[in-house]
A and B are shown apart, each in its own frame.
Chain A
């Protein structure tokens, strides 16, 4: 015990260094996690402050959760969130790796650098900016490029922002498009780091390019794939709020297809003001996500202990 206090004094400099970050973590992680207790209360804001709001709001147990799940909305929204993420995880994995491998095999290395720089631009733009891009293509009437092309070929213009049926594709496409440049970087670096003698040996053995890729490149990339997929699956209940809030431009008609957990929670916060319910949804999101992370990590560790997160 005395050693504890002695250590604090002895290493006070290092402790002070860690303090700003630690204080931030307390206020922006640990306290908010505790604040999720709001999900179990019928929460009302008390002008006396945070603690007063918490203690003065009646405890309702799981009522918020019951309401959330009985309304049927929870199922649709969760389904949307999960399906989109499954789509993103799969597409991102395939396309980013393919992109990285192709780039690594192109002959003109200078061109590869140019391609990489160009493909990174979308990552640096915010979703607000990208929603403008999308609008330039999908604007109603004769404004948007797509409609102009359709009308030019004699068709009727489509009111894109009112037609849910196209939007699964649009969202998947835009989400993947924005991320390819960025996601492929880490795969590209890994592939470039593979020992070339493997390939030389393979070529001596007469392997075709595809065989080389299948037997050398891809296995070397698998540990990285596993880690990133684990992280992604752990986040499967979490959607990219920017994408789902901005790109559909809050069009009510699209809600059945574009409403995900995060936009639902935000709606609860900004519009309906039912904080208890919104927090219940957020808590549900975090807990399930955490459980999923643990599960996928467990399986990954079973497969290959190097690939797991911890």
Chain B
């Protein structure tokens, strides 16, 4: 097996895709790119960065990844920001906002030199957003990458965040409908999954068997899995309700598996709510997994018959992408990026209620041929559209575009 990541990706996506990346990267050789976010483990952003950094490095750029560090109040504040930007109406207490600003000031002291020297600084989500204003000697281009759905934010909080992100050179959004108007180009880049990561790589049947045994799952009865943080927007209670409705018609087991993230203080509360809703039902398996349990998550997705992602709000929904990559049809909430991935009767079903989810679970379990066909289509769809190679290509394109202004056509000679 080759040591080069690009060669390994080439085996999956083909030579033309990798050649395309090398050619796009050619004018960017030696470009210093710093990504900044707020957690190294847990959540889709950290997962993408773990692989994108070495990939960019292999393409000849000089990428690095910095994480801002804060205390409990800081993460509480940014969690409130996350929730209010996604539409919850809540006034963030002033002391928390002061802590947010102070934490960024402290982190700026540590990172200033590196950030001011970089050719590109990519700031992920609201947590490190104030850093731009704290780096007055910056010489490169600064881009704010928003991973969340800000289509209908709680306005006072958005107004505050907007004042921080407006001075950036550009922003990146997952979908046009998530974007808020700003006085800079609003680039659209969908996230991706990494087919070589522990979360998505092929696993041996013995490893799958071990996971079945570890969690006391019966391979003789269908398994429905939802993988996501314990977050109210992921509607774990709705999934449990859907399970109960479907189970009256067909034998079924449900797995709700979630990892914690260091920047999510609300998780324990939602986990307790999910456990209460499960009422000790033996066929409901609520698993709180460590943030690095990637192989376990991978195995759970692979041993499932159907994957559910019944979110009521969703940025993009990478767990949907992961499940589709493993050839599973997905029953997903009709929100955010799930709508881009789940196409009714092709790659899964979009639903709005627990009843809808239960209906589709029943349908798929009684139409096994359709289930298999949709799973195959789902895998192909991810292969062509949502792997990290496409994501890197768009980042490279964006950097080239930003360096050359706003014209519609950029010819590299």
Same complex origin of A and B: no
Interface residues of A (CB under 8 A from B): none
Interface residues of B (CB under 8 A from A): none
